[in-house]
């Protein structure tokens, strides 16, 4: 095997590997020469000539190998930039913080990461919580959905409606001012739901109920009219018939 001289002053690991292979072959050939001399297969004169030739080649190979290895050592090692270290640490810390923020207890049927349960399913779960009278948990659940999907019309409408429903509790204990504030908050969510999707019947129905409760007949009638214009399922028509009657809607 012969290997050409290393190119220029560039360190070439392939050339180093090839030179090492070549050196092994040459050293083995020297050993073979010894063996052949001892076995009488080679004349002493020929042995000396061949040994000298191989020795020169070994020396040349070693010199080129040393040259290559010298090139490898010549280049100073670079130190890591402190800014790089800081950036990596900041990124890792940020990832860790987000990880902590997004982690929760894993239930029996939950999977390790992510989920294939839809936003719709989560809204449904939030509604189930409200149905179980866990209103605070339900509102937190809706907030989590809205954090991820701020324009989710169902979450907006039902979060608003459940806030409206809590006003009864506040009124029952004489907290009229707090009840009014809660009503405003609920109505804000309902307004947002209608703004996102004016054709969402649930939000229209809830708004009609709030206006009815506030004694705003004109607004209630407008809302009922907007709802009926959507040709909603019969359930909504039945539910809002009382509002229409109470407010004298035409």
Partner 1 sequence: MNALIGLGFVTLGLAASVLGAAGGVFALVTDRLYLLKTIRSWAMLVLVAAVGAFTVMEIALFQRDYSLAYVSKVGSDETPPLFNFAALWSSLEGSILLWALVLAGYLAAMVIKFRSRRDDRLLGWALVVMLVVCAFFFALMVGPANPFLTVEVPPGFNGPGPNVLLQNHILMAFHPPMLYLGYVGFTVPFAFAIAALITGRVGEGWLLETRRWTVAAWGFLTAGIVLGAWWSYEVLGWGGYWAWDPVENASLLPWLTGTAYLHSVMVQERRGMLRVWNLSLLCATFSLTILGTFLTRSGVVESVHAFSDGPIGAWLLGFFGLAAATSIGLIGWRGDRLRSPGAIDAPLSREASFLANNLLFGALAFVVLLGTVFPLVAEAWDGTRLTIGRPYFDSLGRPIGLAMLFLMATAPVLPWRKASTEVLSVRLFWPAMAAVASMALALVLGGRGVYPIVTFGLGGFAAGAAIRQVVLATRRQGWRGFLGRTNGGMIVHIGVVLLAVGLAASESYKSDRTVQLAVGESATIEGHEFTYLEAGADMNDRRLRVFALIEIDGADVYAPATTSFRQNGARPVPTPSVRSGFTEDVYLVLDEVPDPADDSIRLRVIIRPMVAWMWAGGALMAVGTVLALFPGRRRRGTEPVSAPVAVGAPAAGPPSGRNGSNGDDPAATGPTDRGAADSPSGDAAVPAGKDPVANG
The rounded distance, in Å, linking the Cα atoms of 22 and 3 is: 7
How many CB atoms are located within 10 Å of the residue 248 CB? Answer: 9
Map the footprint of partner 1 across residues 68-127, applying CB under 8 A. 71-73, 75, 77-78, 91-92, 94-96, 98-99, 101-107, 109-121
Q: Which residue in the set 59, 89, 230, 241 belongs to the binding site for partner 1 (CB under 8 A)?
A: 230
CB 29 within 8 Å of CB 68: no
For position 147 contacting partner 1 by CB under 8 A, the verdict is yes
Are the C-beta atoms of residues 235 and 210 closer than 8 Å to each other? no
Minimum CB separation from partner 1 for residue 142, in Å?
14
- Reported as type and span, the H/E element at residue 6 is none
Token digits for 76?
């100073």
Six-digit token string for 28: 């083995």
The closest of 22, 20, 24 to 68, measured between CA atoms, is: 20
Footprint of partner 1 on 161-190 (CB under 8 A): none
Residue 35 found at the interface with partner 1 (CB under 8 A): no
Question: Is residue 208 close enough to count as binding partner 1 by CB under 8 A?
Answer: no
- Binding residues for partner 1, rule CB under 8 A, total 61
Binding site for partner 1 (CB under 8 A): 7-8, 10-18, 20-21, 24, 28, 71-73, 75, 77-78, 91-92, 94-96, 98-99, 101-107, 109-121, 147-148, 152-154, 197, 199-200, 230-231, 233-235
């Amino acid at each position: 095997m012969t290997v050409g001289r290393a190119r220029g002053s560039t360190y070439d690991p392939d050339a180093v590997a090839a030179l090492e292979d070549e050196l092994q072959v040459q050293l083995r050939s020297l050993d073979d020469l010894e063996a052949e001399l001892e076995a009488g297969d080679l004349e002493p004169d020929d042995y000396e000539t061949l040994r000298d030739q191989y020795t020169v080649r070994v020396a040349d190979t070693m010199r080129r190998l040393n040259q290559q290895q010298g090139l490898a050592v010549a280049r100073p090692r670079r130190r890591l930039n402190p800014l790089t270290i800081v950036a990596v640490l900041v990124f890792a810390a940020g990832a860790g913080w987000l990880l902590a923020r997004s982690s929760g207890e894993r239930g029996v049927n939950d999977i390790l990461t992510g989920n294939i349960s839809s936003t719709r399913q989560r809204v449904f779960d939030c509604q189930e919580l409200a149905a179980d009278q866990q209103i605070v948990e339900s509102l937190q659940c809706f907030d989590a959905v809205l954090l991820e999907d701020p324009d989710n019309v169902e979450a907006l409408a039902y979060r608003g409606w459940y806030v409206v429903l809590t006003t009864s509790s506040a009124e029952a204990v004489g907290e009229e001012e707090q009840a009014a504030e809660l009503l405003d908050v609920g109505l804000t969510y309902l307004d947002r739901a209608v703004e996102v999707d004016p054709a969402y019947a649930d939000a229209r129905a809830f708004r009609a109920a709030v206006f009815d409760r506030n004694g705003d007949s004109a607004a209630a009638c407008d809302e009922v009219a907007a709802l009926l214009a959507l040709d909603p399922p019969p359930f909504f028509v039945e539910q809002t018939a009382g509002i229409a009657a109470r407010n004298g809607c035409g």
